[in-house]
A and B are shown apart, each in its own frame.
Chain A
């Protein structure tokens, strides 16, 4: 972007700041201003035109530096654009495409795209056909995702949502997917942890972080998810699958509410503006499965006291293809990840899975429901028959298997193979407290032993039914540690 003097001379329009209310400035003048146009201040700061009123325009401020009344401004005749190039990979940027200190880091961008654009129409879209591996067993087996799916991650604060997202990012980045993480109004220490995780695991070459801290201007925080989605669209058009993580959308809604209330918009439900649904839907709809590549989106919503019926939470559930619910109750009981498989949903994930995974999913989900019923029954203290004992034993093994340490990933093939082995009686005599160690030894063997890995991958590939796989794992029992 050029400087103030250039635009003033070229366009010949000037305005003066009449009033400033936190992140919104009211400007008199600029008769030709349009909505969403970039406005530049004499001191170099800039903003976006929010609305056009009789006699003045509302400008959303995007810079930290305070604006004084009487300051001169001019228009640029441009929409807010972000510089795009493959050099962005490995960088932590602000929503304006600069580094976190406001310095330009991309000298020669390949493209400049507006941050706010229309979602692609139905013509360029395809079905969700390819699986999306998160590396988290319970998700990959019970509520699997597909490339191009929009899956909401919802739960109370401190239930492990961000850790799950980092696991998904690690799993996908190691497979070559471009991962864009939008940190929306996060604390500095949380941002640091995310960046450290990326660097420590060596996935920086496939990751971009669009970072906004809680102390940043509300206008900048509001733009973060849009910039992230624009970057993902750029890589999609280069033929690369992308993952966009929007952490978190409830904070985004709060900041947008702050901006609109300051701009004296009429408050709707819970004081949110009337267009809050449109704001998020237009963003989420930019993700999906396309002809060139896919953009998988994992927006995050924070609930209060496990209440999934909140306004923003239900809005987001309506515009996504399912949700993964992090249950505080399970978290407090020490279950990690604290995902509740009964309250989580995947709407388009199963169609992207192989017949084996679909069959496994059906059988295991049904079994888990049956387990819950048995647990309810046992509250009455009734005598337990032998078959019920066997079922309970298997249930304990499966629950231990679905648990996973934070920030670790397990490839989906070995998850399927191990689950089939457990179903067929593997480690049935091992004490409950030693099960984790037993299962970890299987995963270790898969990572380190080529022969074992080839056996597992080959067996999975050639088996369409779960019961058939169970039989094969029983036959190959000697290969298991």
Chain B
């Protein structure tokens, strides 16, 4: 039911932004002075608005949004810390690799740690791996 909208999320930033938009829409349902459709067209990204409208269809917006909020909170996340801000291409490559080798539907939360120099630190499912150049230099010294 939510796969269309969930497939648009690649990173934790995307997820948090979507959570914020869903919260505004939920607020519009319960706040009498606000109009749901007006908020959907003015305060939410066009792509999101389109996916929400098609997702709701004939069902209740309230139920749809509550279910979507729950799904968003439970999306499995891999934390990857890099020494630089990744470009779109890098995000795409990393995401493809993660979804192929770890599991579908996983998103990436990026951390920035310039002192790593290079490499990456990865944490998923409670497991942690430090593949940074900083660690390798520390062990050499």
Contacts and interface: CB of A to CB of B under 8 A. Distances in A.
Tell me whether A and B are bound partners: yes
Interface of A: 8-9, 12-15, 28-32, 74
Interface stretch (B27-35, B90-98, B123-131): B123-131
A12 B128 contact: yes
A12 B125 CA distance: 11
A14 B135 CA distance: 17
B72 to A, nearest CB: 16
A13 B135 contact: no
Interface centre among A12, A15, A32, A74 (most CB of B within 10 A): A12
A395 B97 CA distance: 93
B35 to A, nearest CB: 34
B31 to A, nearest CB: 27
Nearest to B139: A9
Interface residues of B, number: 8
Interface centre among B123, B125, B129, B130 (most CB of A within 10 A): B123
B43 to A, nearest CB: 27
B130 A31 contact: no
Nearest to B77: A16
A472 B2 CA distance: 99
A394 B19 CA distance: 86
B63 to A, nearest CB: 24
A371 to B, nearest CB: 70
Nearest to A57: B126
Nearest to B126: A29
A253 B125 CA distance: 37
Contacts of B130: 8-9
Contact of B127 (A9, A14, A28): A14
Contacts of A32: 126
A59 to B, nearest CB: 14
25 contacts: A8-B128, A8-B130, A9-B130, A9-B135, A12-B127, A12-B128, A12-B129, A13-B126, A13-B127, A13-B128, A14-B123, A14-B126, A14-B127, A14-B128, A15-B126, A28-B126, A29-B123, A29-B125, A29-B126, A30-B126, A31-B125, A31-B126, A31-B127, A32-B126, A74-B128
Interface in B97-141: 123, 125-130, 135
Contacts of B129: 12
A291 to B, nearest CB: 46
Interface in B43-58: none
Nearest to B129: A12
Contacts of B125: 29, 31
B135 to A, nearest CB: 7
A74 B126 CA distance: 9
Contacts of B135: 9
A8 B121 CA distance: 11
A52 to B, nearest CB: 12
A282 to B, nearest CB: 31
A14 B129 CA distance: 9
Contacts of B128: 8, 12-14, 74
Contacts of A14: 123, 126-128
A29 B123 CA distance: 10
A32 B128 CA distance: 12
Given A12-B128, A13-B128, 19 more contacts: A8-B128, A8-B130, A9-B130, A12-B127, A12-B129, A13-B126, A13-B127, A14-B123, A14-B126, A14-B127, A14-B128, A15-B126, A28-B126, A29-B125, A30-B126, A31-B125, A31-B127, A32-B126, A74-B128
A334 B128 CA distance: 67
A9 to B, nearest CB: 6
A453 to B, nearest CB: 69
Contacts of B126: 13-15, 28-32
B47 to A, nearest CB: 28
A30 B123 CA distance: 11
A454 B135 CA distance: 74
Interface centre among B125, B127, B130 (most CB of A within 10 A): B127
Contacts of A13: 126-128
